[in-house]
Structures are given as structure tokens and as C-alpha cells.
Structure 1
Amino acid sequence: MLKLQNVSKQFDRKVVLDDINVEIKTGEIVSLLGPSGSGKTTLLNIILGLTQLDHGRIIFNDMDLSNVSMKNRGFNIVFQDYALFPHLSAYENIIYGLRNKKGLVSETELQEYIDFLELKPHLAKKIGELSGGQKQRVALARTLVMKPKILLLDEPLSALDGVIKESIKQRIQSIAREYKLTTIIVTHDPEEALTLSDKILIINQGNISQFGTPQEIINQPNNDFVKEFILKQLQIKRQNIYNLFGEKYA
């Protein structure tokens, strides 16, 4: 379990996160959702260890990681732009992090990850020869082989559309279920959060507006901001809302 206790952060005296308290269960997919500048990316970076919090604690499986370095937390991130090495093949990208981690995964495990993400036909290709969805799968494989304790994803679907986006959604859900891997996703898109997540943490101006299941957020929005942001400002596709929650909310 991951617990965020009274997490706060300021930049240049501006409060970016104010007293964030959340508990995330093992294997859950949780989306950090909010408008630009709401503090969601800062919170992701604090969990990762890339940004130091000013106040509060990060507790993972009863261990206080608040002052533990990013390297020693064992959490891994897939960045929005994938951060793949263009001069290397897909396979070389996947195993890149294992150079200094000999024995972390067996050859059998490595092939299981590759097969799970259906990457075998693309292993010899350079990154420039891959589609957006294939690049995303390579980035996921490169992260999974490091056996992360928590998987962090920064806007994983923003560069994708249509069938490819739906395919990657399913992959992310399958990864979380198959490996019981707690997965935390930053997104600005309510549709993505509603269709992908077990829970959604809606952040506005550094504060929690609501934390709950997609059904709870749709059926019982905590305040006007949640209702406006989810149902009006970003104009979620009516058909997706209908499929998830019924005609009343479409």
C-alpha cells in the first residue's frame, strides 16, 4: 500500500500541493486528474522521488520513503515522450536498464514481457521505424523488466488516438492485473481517467477535489468543480459515458 500523508509543496512561495492525504492499494490503477497547473505532475514527481516534498510523508508498505532517493525507491516511470534511444533497436532499448542489474530478470522472464506486449516482430527495428503504439509498448517493456514496485505513467495516451489508444489502455490494465502492479497515471483527460482507472484523484489548485471510483465521481461529484470539469469543460464523449454509467449521465 502507498500512503501519502499531509504532502505539501511550494515553488517560489506558491503553494502547488496543500496537505494531500491518499491511500492507494496494491494493484490499483489510480489516475491523477486535473487541469494544467493543478499540481498532478508535481505529485507524481514527489512519489517518484524526482521532487522533494516540503512537508508530509510517503509511506510504502509501512516504510517511510520521504527522504529515500529516487534510485532507491524502486519506482519506475514511463515519460510522456517515451524517452527511448533512437540509435538503439527496440530490443536494446528494452534491456538498456539491465546493464548494471545482472540477474534481475531471467531470459525466460524477459521473453515473457516481450511476448506479453507482442513486441517480438519489432525487436530489431530502430525506434524511428516504430508506430506510436509500438514505442509506448517498448517503453512499458523497458520499465517492466526493471521489476518496479510501482509503475508511474505521465500522460501515456496523449500522443495516441483511435484504436491504438484503446489498445494501450487495455495493455496498461492487463499489466496491473497480471503483475498486481500498482499503477499511477497523470492525465488531463477525464475520459481516459474514467475508462482506465480503478480510482481517480481529482486535483484542483493543489487540493484534492475528490478521490473515488469513476462511478462515485460521476454519480456523486463532491463539488461544482468536479461536476463541471468532468461533464462539461472537457466534453467527454457521450457514448463513452453512456457505456460506462447509463443514459442518465450521457
Structure 2
Amino acid sequence: MLKLQNVSKHYDNKVVLNNINVEINTGEIVSLLGQSGSGKTTLLNIILGLTKMNDGKIIFNDIDISDVTMKNRGFNIVFQDYALFPHLNAYENIVYGLKNKKGLVTEKEVQEYIEFLELKPHLTKKIGELSGGQKQRVALARTLVMKPKILLLDEPLSALDGVIKESIKQRIQSIAREFKLTTIIVTHDPEEALTLSDKILIINQGEISQFGTPKEIINEPKNDFVKEFILKQLQIKRQNIYNLFGETDV
């Protein structure tokens, strides 16, 4: 569905991304995982069309969209800070983007998204009256009503914790499955990526360290960086990994 071919990006003499080659299938949840400054957010913005690459191609459904504008790609993003309008209530935020997209969805479909995300009791509340998890669900609903071809999420769980964080993870997984919606997530948290994604793209200093399923990355780390980053640097508890993937030599 989505192919990145030799995608590279540099600013003057600084290489941000170097020869990124990835193929993402329809309906997959893929996390772009890496440390701060690794290039993962730049890659997300290149896919979105917000940032231009210096070299390479982006192929979507066998069509080269490398020079297609962000507006015409039809991909939608939920930003880390939600980017909601504080002067509008939850419902007004959800349907805001539809003002210039008449006929894109019916009111029945809007209500189905609202029901799916369990937002009905909160529709008349202003954004300042919502919890972090409720704001995240409003941001997701606002994006879904635009019927995106790909859903992009920038650190969607970073401002959440505990039960709310787990709830939003389940929502994201449900959205991908229910709507067969390819979902690409930027995160710096290995445990988040391992428990949320179908596949993980680990980026280190602008290059791919490994691309594979969570089980492959845990059981067959390709290099010392992957092993260090996943299990030592961020100190993920070994028992949690065993519970998810069974015994491992890592």
C-alpha cells in the first residue's frame, strides 16, 4: 500500500534521513521508534507531505505521490498536543474540517464515529473541560470523519498515563482493525511500540536499524543498538516482555 524507496533528507551538510526503504501493508499499525533527533518525526512529516525529501520516492497504491501536495494526499495527522480549538465544544471540533468538505460523510456516519469513541456524553463540553484521554478521542474523531487514507499519529500517548493510556492504545488498535486503516505512529517509547504495533521501524541517526514485528525485534535484534535501546536504555522490565512474547535470549 505504502512504499518508501530510498527516502533521504538533509539540511545543508546535516543528514537527517539516509536511504529509507520500507513497505507498509493496508491496515497495519507501524511505529516509527527512535531517540530524540533520530529522524522519525521528519519521516512522518515527509509521508504526510509537510516536509519535502531530497531524494527517493513515495508510492501509494502503486502511484508515485512524491510530488503530490499534503492537501491532495488525503493523509491526516493527530498532533501531540491535539491541536483542538479551545473556543469550540467537542462536537464543533469534530466536524470543523467538514465545513469545506460537503458530502464527504453523512451525519449518521459522524454519529457512528462518536459512538465508536464513546464521546456522546462530552459533545457539548468545551475543550478545557475534557480530560487528556477525552481530548485525544476528540482529536481521533475529528481525523476519522475526514476519511483519511492513512492515519498518522505524533506521540499520541506521551501526555497520558495509567488506565487512560491503555484505553487509548486499545482505541487506536480498534480503529485500525475496524476501518482497515493503515496507521503510522511516532514514538520514543519501546514498550509503547511493542504493545501497540504490528511492525516497528527503529531509526538510529537517520538510518533503519531494524524493521519487523515486535516478536522479531525482541527475539532477533539485528544489532547492539536495537538490543540496547529496547531492553537496557529505557529499562523495560524483562517480565513484561516474557508475558508478551515468551522466552527470549535478549
Which TM-score applies when normalising by structure 1? 0.98
Q: Which residue of 1 aligns with 2:40?
A: 40
Q: Which residue of 1 aligns with 2:111?
A: 111
CA distance in 1, matches of 2:226, 2:89: 44
Aligned-residue CA RMSD in angstroms?
1.0
TM superposition shift of 1:117: 0.1
- SS of 1:57's partner is strand
Question: 2:11 is aligned with what amino acid?
Answer: F
Question: 2:38 is aligned with what amino acid?
Answer: S
- SS of 1:71's partner is helix
CA distance in 2, matches of 1:141, 1:237: 33
Q: List per-residue Cα deviations over 1:65-98 (Å, max 9, x = no partner).
A: 1000000000000000000000000000000000
TM superposition shift of 1:240: 2.4
Q: Return closer, same or farther for 1:112/1:34 CA change in 2, 3 Å cut-off.
A: same
Q: Which residue of 1 aligns with 2:172?
A: 172
CA distance in 2, matches of 1:150, 1:232: 33
Q: List per-residue Cα deviations over 1:2-21 (Å, max 9, x = no partner).
A: 00000000012200000000
Question: 1:132 is aligned with what amino acid?
Answer: G
In structure 1, runs of 5+ residues without a counterpart are none
- Worse-matched range after superposition: 39-48 or 7-16: 7-16
TM superposition shift of 1:247: 4.7
| Counterpart mapping for 1:1-250 below 5 A | 1-248=1-248
Q: List per-residue Cα deviations over 1:145-197 (Å, max 9, x = no partner).
A: 00000000000000000000000000000000000000000000000000000
CA distance in 2, matches of 1:94, 1:137: 10
CA distance in 2, matches of 1:28, 1:209: 20
Whether the aligned pair in 1 keeps the contact of 2:88 and 2:126 (CA below 8 Å) is yes
CA distance in 2, matches of 1:101, 1:69: 17
CA distance in 1, matches of 2:130, 2:249: 39
Question: 2:110 is aligned with what amino acid?
Answer: L
Whether the aligned pair in 2 keeps the contact of 1:191 and 1:237 (CA below 8 Å) is no
Whether the aligned pair in 2 keeps the contact of 1:241 and 1:249 (CA below 8 Å) is no
TM superposition shift of 1:249: 6.1
- SS of 1:7's partner is strand
TM superposition shift of 1:243: 1.5
In structure 2, runs of 5+ residues without a counterpart are none
CA distance in 2, matches of 1:192, 1:249: 21
- SS of 1:236's partner is coil
CA distance in 2, matches of 1:249, 1:157: 29
Whether the aligned pair in 1 keeps the contact of 2:218 and 2:248 (CA below 8 Å) is no
CA distance in 1, matches of 2:42, 2:109: 33
CA distance in 1, matches of 2:131, 2:27: 29
Whether the aligned pair in 2 keeps the contact of 1:242 and 1:249 (CA below 8 Å) is no
Question: 1:32 is aligned with what amino acid?
Answer: L
CA distance in 1, matches of 2:186, 2:20: 16
Whether the aligned pair in 1 keeps the contact of 2:78 and 2:154 (CA below 8 Å) is yes
Which TM-score applies when normalising by structure 2? 0.98
CA distance in 1, matches of 2:166, 2:30: 17
Whether the aligned pair in 2 keeps the contact of 1:117 and 1:141 (CA below 8 Å) is yes
CA distance in 2, matches of 1:25, 1:77: 18
